């Protein structure tokens, strides 16, 4: 008799694997168990390892368990003991200790529970109950265990698929953004989480431009590996961006992040360095939170580790401050931000690793056949199998010469960056302070008009060209917005300002868009 019971019962797990959701399959299985074993209730609880509790996942005759999210601590009560002792247990509720109030409320008298095993680990419990007293026999135990074994396999497979899907999505969203394209700057990076098949980890880098035109660089390393470290990394990355965009000072940003991590339950420690570059003033500001020192490459090729004012890692303790320091970053300079996976080797001191980094950076600077990040990475690791995550961000400031051309999104927050780039270009051209101000402000006005003409159309862009012939500077701003005789921002004052500050301003517009051409002759100083 038990064989035919078993066949009917177990056939469900085979066929269902293909087309049913895990929930539905378990529900169907529990229903068949109720029939075959002639019991009143059947339920599956799964173990949440992080929190050490069993959570009801599916039930027949006991749907309340699932609906109310019943949780049974490991080793406590009936299900808890089955899981902790990893063996079948039979109880008589009149005499037993049960944690779950629903079992008593239902009027259950007898129960049989078996563990769900996968590869020697207990992942949950399956139990059945009756409303009248019942003496479960060996056949019952064997059959229930068989059903549980099949269910365990199906559950494990479903979990793996689910985790893969989640990981795939996380990987895509947590990967670093594409490196920005900014005239006068060159960025390159390497991002290699250790471990096969996993494309994300606790190391990260970030580069973004603020509305003021300053550039922010971040390198960081969350304790641990894999998906958990990556999710903490994502929170840190987002928080840093938010605080920076709000305009807080660098030291304050790191303090605020530290406080944020301290307020979170499952926070982890992390080391990081965050820097802000004013590309026009050519000055770098930095805060280091327990991270390896950034490496500065001077225009002449000499290297210097920036080891000033090292602060404590974040997410570990509170009540301490962070301090920023500054360093000049003239055109031709380079900067390397990296995580310890890049330089650490067994049986070698950190100092030796840093020496190797400095040598690699010196040799790699100014090479034109590969990016700075690639050159440094190849010199240090190349064929070596990765033992630890590696993140490397290389930043170079290059001369702004000849024609300057930028295509920018038609959003007001690009104006600050536009002014800094044009200011830098004019500085290189030998413009005096007054004329630099006049030309930059005028270009900014024309750009603001172009942005306004886009009328908030998503994906709209505009282009700006800056040329110089001898001392004559010509700037052209071209947008594709439709001309409308609406009042531009500043009520037409923008054009008045431009005409007063420059030698000539021409505005030509048609159905295709508007072109503004501005010229100014620089005074012969340089």
Partner 1 sequence: MSRLEIEQIDGVPIARVYEDIDAANAAVVRQQLDEALGPDALSLVVDLSATRYVDSAGIDMLLRLNDRLDHRRAKLILVIPEASQLKRLIAIVGLPEAITIHSSLENALREKAKSQAR
Instruction: Give the CA radius of gyration of the chain.
Output: 33
Tokens of 23: 């929930």
Binding of residue 276 to partner 1 (CB under 8 A)? no
Find the binding residues for partner 1 in span 235-274 (CB under 8 A): 246-249, 252
Shortest Å distance, C-beta 398 to partner 1: 24
Q: Smaller CB distance to partner 1: residue 229 or 418?
A: 418
Tokens of 433: 């302070």
Q: Smaller CB distance to partner 1: residue 125 or 446?
A: 446
**Phi, psi at 120, each rounded to 5°:** 80, -10
By rule CB under 8 A, what count of residues binds partner 1? 31
Q: Smaller CB distance to partner 1: residue 225 or 276?
A: 276
Residue among 437, 480, 507, 517 that touches partner 1 (CB under 8 A): 437
Q: Smaller CB distance to partner 1: residue 325 or 437?
A: 437
Binding of residue 430 to partner 1 (CB under 8 A)? no
Binding of residue 456 to partner 1 (CB under 8 A)? no
Q: Which of 252, 343, 257, 243 is nearest to 293 (CA)?
A: 343
Residue among 2, 71, 142, 212 that touches partner 1 (CB under 8 A): 212
Q: Which helix (H) or strand (E) holds 283?
A: strand 283-289
* Cα 224 from Cα 342, distance rounded (Å): 16
Q: Smaller CB distance to partner 1: residue 256 or 288?
A: 256
* Cα 516 from Cα 509, distance rounded (Å): 8
Binding of residue 503 to partner 1 (CB under 8 A)? no
Binding of residue 177 to partner 1 (CB under 8 A)? no
Strand-pair category, 215-222 with 270-278: antiparallel
Binding of residue 523 to partner 1 (CB under 8 A)? no
* Cα 73 from Cα 405, distance rounded (Å): 64
Residue 513, SS3 per DSSP:
strand
Find the binding residues for partner 1 in span 404-423 (CB under 8 A): 412-413, 415-416, 419
Binding of residue 451 to partner 1 (CB under 8 A)? yes
Q: Which of 84, 21, 13, 30 is nearest to 52 (CA)?
A: 84
Shortest Å distance, C-beta 252 to partner 1: 8
Binding of residue 107 to partner 1 (CB under 8 A)? no
Partners of 91 in beta bridges: 111
Strand-pair category, 270-278 with 283-289: antiparallel
Torsion angle of alpha carbons 483, 489, 494, 496, nearest 10°?
80
Shortest Å distance, C-beta 444 to partner 1: 6
Q: Which stretch binds partner 1 (CB under 8 A): 39-47, 109-117, 433-441, 470-478?
A: 433-441
Q: Which helix (H) or strand (E) holds 155?
A: helix 138-174
Binding mask 480-499 for partner 1 (x = CB under 8 A): ---------xxx-xx-xx--
* Cα 391 from Cα 182, distance rounded (Å): 21
Binding site for partner 1 (CB under 8 A): 211-212, 246-249, 252, 412-413, 415-416, 419, 433-434, 437, 440-441, 444-445, 448, 451-452, 489-491, 493-494, 496-497, 500-501
């Amino acid at each position: 008799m038990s064989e035919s019971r078993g066949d009917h019962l177990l056939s469900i797990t085979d066929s269902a694997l293909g087309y049913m959701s895990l929930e539905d399959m378990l529900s169907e299985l529990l229903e068949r168990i109720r029939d075959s074993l002639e019991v009143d209730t059947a339920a599956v609880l799964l173990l949440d390892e992080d929190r050490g509790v069993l959570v009801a996942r599916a039930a027949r005759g006991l749907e309340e368990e699932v609906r109310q999210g019943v949780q049974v601590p490991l080793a406590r009560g009936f299900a808890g003991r089955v899981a902790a002792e990893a063996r079948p247990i039979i109880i008589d509720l009149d005499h037993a200790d049960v944690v779950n109030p629903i079992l008593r409320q239902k009027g259950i008298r007898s129960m049989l529970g078996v563990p769900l095993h996968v590869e020697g680990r207990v992942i949950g419990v399956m139990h059945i109950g009756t409303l009248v007293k019942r003496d479960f026999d060996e056949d019952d135990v064997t059959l229930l265990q068989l059903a549980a074994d099949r269910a365990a396999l199906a559950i494990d497979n479903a979990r793996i698929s689910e985790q893969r899907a989640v990981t795939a999505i996380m990987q895509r969203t947590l990967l670093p953004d594409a490196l920005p394209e900014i005239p006068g700057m060159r960025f390159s990076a390497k991002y290699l989480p250790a471990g096969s098949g996993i494309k994300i980890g606790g190391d990260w880098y970030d580069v973004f431009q603020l509305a003021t035109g300053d550039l922010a660089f971040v390198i960081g390393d969350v304790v641990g590996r894999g998906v958990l470290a990556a999710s903490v990394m994502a929170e840190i990355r987002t928080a840093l961006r938010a605080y920076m965009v709000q305009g807080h000072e660098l030291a304050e940003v790191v303090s605020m992040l530290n406080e944020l991590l301290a307020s979170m339950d499952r926070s982890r420690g992390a080391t990081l360095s965050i820097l802000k570059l004013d590309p026009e003033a050519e000055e770098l500001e930095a805060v280091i939170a327990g991270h390896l020192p950034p490496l500065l490459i001077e225009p002449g090729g000499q290297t210097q580790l920036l080891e000033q004012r090292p602060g404590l890692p974040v997410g570990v303790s509170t009540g301490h401050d962070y301090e920023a320091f500054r360093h000049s970053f003239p055109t031709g300079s380079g900067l390397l931000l990296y995580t310890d996976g890049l330089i650490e080797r067994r049986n070698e001191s950190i100092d030796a690793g840093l020496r190797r980094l400095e040598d690699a950076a010196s040799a790699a600077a100014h090479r034109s056949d590969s990016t700075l990040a690639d050159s440094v990475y190849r010199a240090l690791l190349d064929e070596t199998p990765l033992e630890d995550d590696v993140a490397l961000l290389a930043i170079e400031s290059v001369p702004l010469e000849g024609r300057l051309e930028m295509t920018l999104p038609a959003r007001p927050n690009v104006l600050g960056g536009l002014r800094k780039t044009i200011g830098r270009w004019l500085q290189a051209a030998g413009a005096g302070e007054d004329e630099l101000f006049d030309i930059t402000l005028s270009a900014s006005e024309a750009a603001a008009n172009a942005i306004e003409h886009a009328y908030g159309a998503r994906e709209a862009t505009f282009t700006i060209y800056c040329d110089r012939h001898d001392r004559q500077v010509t700037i052209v701003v071209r947008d594709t917005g439709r001309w409308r005789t609406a009042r531009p921002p500043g009520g037409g004052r923008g054009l008045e300002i431009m005409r007063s500050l420059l030698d000539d301003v021409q505005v030509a517009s048609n159905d295709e868009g508007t072109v503004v051409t501005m010229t100014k002759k620089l005074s012969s100083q340089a």
